[in-house]
Structures are given as structure tokens and as C-alpha cells.
Structure 1
């Protein structure tokens, strides 16, 4: 049976002359199509994750590709039983993914794109290093077998780690990967700028690799930025690599601590989830503000009077002459 909703993951590095004007127009388009999710607009392009009915998502993709600026967008499409978001946010920012590397334009120079099948064929060669450019909380729940990971809590810390990579891997072929491909665009370009000569990137990221190459040798789950939190990608040789924060048993069940003051985002197995009443520690279990635990470890953010038109500057009515 076909699932009624789609979840779209996409980005496009392309010049947008007036990001604020485009944001207004794009916000309206999403409202008209009943889409929910998060979209970032900047002078360098567009980055989004949205959900909606299959029909509305198809219309959205066709509308975007009809615009010459976004004709090259590669949409990663996943089916869903429900919306993956509760709200719609369309915002303007300096970058479509926060890196601090404002001088880099992936349209000018970036690592060579590899299809999932090409990545699969290269990743185990002796002259290759597979580099995860994501943050620690992302790769802790899932990563490629034998991948090099970086001790970073945010992508903007990536440039600080390049000297460490130079010492070990400068003469190797570097295959970068991330969730959907967007971080690799700037990470691979920065590596080239810093003197690495053979730099590649997994086109479409982990998500596309799962869809087109079966996800082989991706161990654990892929962290995603919607209500699903983490998704399966490996249909060939899956395994769990993350451990329960409380007892240390293998678990990829990502939860938020029931204590909102803590809100630690870690794997906690189902048994410990119930045993700790959703908390990550005895102190959090006894905290006076602890939220009721419903077995999921996911707590929907308060809507706080959410209005889908918030942030959308509707035209003012003309003054009425008396």
C-alpha cells in the first residue's frame, strides 16, 4: 500500500539576488501546498526538508525544477504515513548550512561527485579514506564502516580539524559523506583549498546511498532532522553500533531526556526508558519539571500559538480615501 505523504530532502547552491523577496514568495508557495518543514534561503542558495501529501510534494518539485535557478535540485524522496513536521519555517540566513566558510562557492570548485554505486566501488580501496563530515551526535548513531570521524559538535568546527587530517591523509583519496550531500559541497571544496588533491563526495549523501545502493556497510541508523530522528538505510548488512546511555547495551533508540532542563539527546534502550521513566539519570528522574514519559522519548514542541503566516509579510491594504 502506498503511503500518503512524502518527505523531501534537498539543497541547491545557486545565486539568489534578493533572498528576502524570494523567502516571501517561497513561504507563500509552501502554504498553498500545505507543506511543513524547515527551509533556509540565502544569497548562495536554498536548503530544505519538508513533508506533505504525495500530490502536493510532486507539485512542489515540479514548480522548483521549472525555475532555471533550481533545475539541478536533486530531491531525495521518502514515503511516510504522516507529516514529518508540525510547523513550517522559511528563514533567511547568511549560509544555507552554517559553516563559516563564506568565501567558498561550490559552483566554482568542489570535490568530484560520486554516485552511490561509484562510492561503493571505491570506499574499501587501500588508497582511500572515507571521511564523515557530520557532527558527533549524528555519527554516534550511524556511520560507514571504517569511516574517519571528527570530534566536532557543529559543522562550523570542520575547518579547525583539517590540519589533523593533513598529517595523516594528505596523500590519500578522500571520500567525504554526510546526510544529504550539502555539507560535503563546502567540506570537499575546503579540503581542495587546503592542498588535498584527490577529493570526492558522495552525491546525495547517506540517504541516496541507502535508496540506490542498498546502504551496504553503513552501520547503524542515519540521523535526520525531522520527527523521525533516525532512519534505517542499510538493507544488506545492517547492525546496531550505538549503545544505551544508561546500561550500555546496543541500542539505536534515540530519545530526549524527560527532564526538559537536561533534554539530553542520546540512545536509551526501551527497558531503561521505562525503568528510568524517560530520564537519562536518577537526578533527572527526580527532577520536579520532568515530563510524563509515553514510551517514545519524543516530546512535541509546544505550538505556542503557532501561525503558519508568522514571518510572512502580507501586502498591506491601500489606504482608503474618505
Structure 2
């Protein structure tokens, strides 16, 4: 049976003159189309993940492509049984992905974009290094076979690792990758700025590679930033690379510790989940604030009376009085 919902993942580096005015208009568009998710608006562009009924998502993509600023957006579309989010947030920020590399403009210079087929053809060559630019909790549950991974808690730490990369791989061809491609835009541009000469990026990221190349040699699952947490991408030679935080058995079941004070985000197998009632340790199991465990290890954030219309200065109205 056809899944009725779509999940959209996209970004676009394109100047937005008045981010706050655009945010307001764009938020209203998403409300009209019954879309949920997260969108970041900046003067450098857009970064979004949304979910909605297929027809509503189609209308959204048509509206975006009709705007010359966003005509080149490459939407990654995944079918779903239901919404991947419970609310809508459209926010303005300094960057559309927090990197701290404010001087980098991917629209001016960035790594060579490789299609999934081109990436697949190049990735195993002896003069190539495949570089994962994501955070440690992301690549812990899945990464490309033989990829170089970085011990970073967030993307802001990427520049701190470049000197180390330069010592080992400066004369190699660097193939960067991430979930949907956005981090690679700045990461590859920064590598070029730092003296690397042959820098490439997987266009559309792991998600597009799974859709167009079957995900071959991507080991484990791909971490995503919605209610699914981690998704399968490899239809050719899948495997599990992560281990249960508690017992060490193979497990790609990413959960949050039921103790909200801890909230550790790691793989925990179903057996340990049951034994520790959703906690990551015996200490957390006994914590007085421990959340009820429903077997999923996922805890929805409190909406706290969330009102998506709050803060609007302009509203669409019916015909104004004469």
C-alpha cells in the first residue's frame, strides 16, 4: 500500500535580503499546507526538513521552485506512513548550519559535486580518502566502509580537525559526505581554503546515495533529525556497525536514556532496554525523574502550549472592508 506522507530534506545557499520577513511569510505557507518540521532561515539561504501529505509536499516544492532564489533546490523525498514531526518551527539564525565558518560562501567556491554514481566509482580508489564530516553520534551508528571519521560532538569543531587531516591526507583526493549534503558545502570549501587541492562532495549526501546507488558500502544506518532517528539506506550489502552501550552486542537501535538528567543518546539493544527500563545504567534506572519507558526509547519534547501563529505581525486576511 502506498505511504500517504512524504518527508522532505533540502537546503539552498542563496541570499535572502530580509530573513525575518521571509521567515514570517514562509511559516505561513507551511501552515497553509499543513506541513510540520524544522526550517532555518538565514541571509545565506535555507535549510529544512518537513513532513506532510504527499499532495501538500508537492505544492510546497512547486512553490519553492517557482521562486528564482530557490529554483535549484534538490529535494530528497522519502515516503512515510505518517508525519515525522509533531510541530512546525521556522526560525532565523546566523547560518543555516552552525559551523562558525561565517566567512565561507559555498556559492563562490566549494568542493566538486559528485553524483551518487560518481561517488561510488571514485570512493575505493587508492588516491582517495572518504571523509565523514558529521558528528560522532551520527557516524557511530552508520558510515561508509573505510571512511575517515572525526571525533567531534558538533560540526562547529570541524575546523579544529583540519590540521590533523592536512598532515595525513593533503596530497589525496578528499571525498566528503554527510546526511543531505549541507555540511559538505562549507566543509569542502574550508578544506580548499586550507590548501587541499582536490576536494569533492557527495551531492545530496547519504540519503540521495541510498536512493540512487542503493546505498552500497554504507555500513549501518543513517542518522536523521526527525522522529525516525535512524534509517536504512543500504539495499545491496547492509550490515550493523554499532554496538549496544550496555552489553556490547551489535545494535543500531538509537535511543535516549529514560533519565532526562542524563538523556544519553546511544545504541541500546531491546533486551537491555527492557532490563534497565529504558535507562542506560542501573543508576539512571533508579533516578527519581526517570521517564516511563514505552519500548521505543524516544521521548517527545513537551509542546508547552506551542502555538505556531504566535509572534506573527502579518496575517492573511479575507477581503478588507471598503
Same fold (TM over 0.5): yes
Superposed counterparts of 1:1-322, under 5 Å: 1-314=1-314
Q: How far apart in 1 are the matches of 2:311 and 2:173?
A: 45
Q: How far apart in 2 are the matches of 1:312 and 1:116?
A: 41
Offset of residue 277 of structure 1: 0.4
Offset of residue 302 of structure 1: 1.1
Offset of residue 316 of structure 1: 11
Offset of residue 211 of structure 1: 0.2
- Cα offsets for 1:6-43 (capped at 9, x unmatched): 00000000000000000010000000000000000000
Conserved in 2, the CA contact under 8 Å of 1:242 and 1:267?
Answer: yes
The 3-state SS of whatever aligns with 1:197 is: coil
Can you give the 5+ residue segments of structure 1 that lack an aligned partner in the other structure?
318-322
Offset of residue 301 of structure 1: 1.1
The 3-state SS of whatever aligns with 2:303 is: coil
Question: How many residues were matched structurally?
Answer: 317
Offset of residue 300 of structure 1: 1.1
The 3-state SS of whatever aligns with 1:125 is: coil
Offset of residue 312 of structure 1: 2.8
Q: How far apart in 2 are the matches of 1:200 and 1:52?
A: 33
Root-mean-square deviation (CA, aligned residues, Å) is 1.1
Using the size of structure 1 for normalisation, the TM-score is 0.97
Conserved in 2, the CA contact under 8 Å of 1:174 and 1:199?
Answer: yes
The 3-state SS of whatever aligns with 1:280 is: coil
The 3-state SS of whatever aligns with 2:287 is: coil
Q: How far apart in 2 are the matches of 1:189 and 1:252?
A: 32
Q: How far apart in 2 are the matches of 1:232 and 1:20?
A: 36
Using the size of structure 2 for normalisation, the TM-score is 0.97
Offset of residue 306 of structure 1: 1.4
Can you give the 5+ residue segments of structure 2 that lack an aligned partner in the other structure?
318-322
Q: Greater CA deviation, 300-309 or 47-56?
A: 300-309
Offset of residue 104 of structure 1: 0.8
Offset of residue 313 of structure 1: 2.7
- Cα offsets for 1:37-63 (capped at 9, x unmatched): 000000000000000000000000000
Q: How far apart in 1 are the matches of 2:315 and 2:34?
A: 21
- Cα offsets for 1:198-254 (capped at 9, x unmatched): 000000000000000000000000000000000000000000000000100000001
